[in-house]
Amino acid sequence: MLDKKTDAVLRLLTDNVGDGYKVLNKSQLLSQLPSRLHIDEQTFQGILSFLKDNDYLDVKYQDKEEICLAATVKAASYKENEQNVVQRANIPSWQVALLIAGVFFAAFAGALVAALLGKLM
């Protein structure tokens, strides 16, 4: 699983590239990323290197302004698997309290039955 910044860059690149190689402008890509992630040019370059080294992207060439790349099968698989992640259930606090009380009373009753059986034998 990738961190938030790397995940955002990978999603942006796979959305813009599609199938095959495509030439993209780095400054336009940076402007499309959410500002709350605080990704500058140096961070972006580091994330690109990480994605290339881990076979998420195949970079044909790059210079200061442009990059020619293609998304690999690993990137497409990651994107599909992340969409299928099961979200946590949103359980109200009163149900959690009821569950804890039920477990407590079940344990108490089990201990009581064990003690009674121990006295009988």
Per-domain boundaries in the chain: 4-83, 88-121
- Which DSSP letter does residue 35 get? G
| Half-sphere exposure (Cβ direction) of 28: Cα atoms closer than 13 Å | 8
Packing angle of the helix pair 73-83, 4-17 (nearest 10 deg): 120
**For residue range 66-79, what is the model confidence (pLDDT) as tens digits?**
999 999 999 888 88
Q: Give the pair of three-digit tokens for residue 48.
A: 């690109």
**For residue range 6-42, what is the model confidence (pLDDT) as tens digits?**
989 998 998 888 888 999 999 898 899 888 989 888 9
Return the higher-pLDDT residue of 87 and 27.
27
What pLDDT does residue 64 have? 87
CATH class of 4-83: mainly alpha
Gap between the Cα atoms of 99 and 94, Å rounded: 9
* CA 71 vs CA 12, 33, 44, 53, 91: distances in Å: 11, 18, 16, 13, 38
Residue with tokens 């949103």: 90
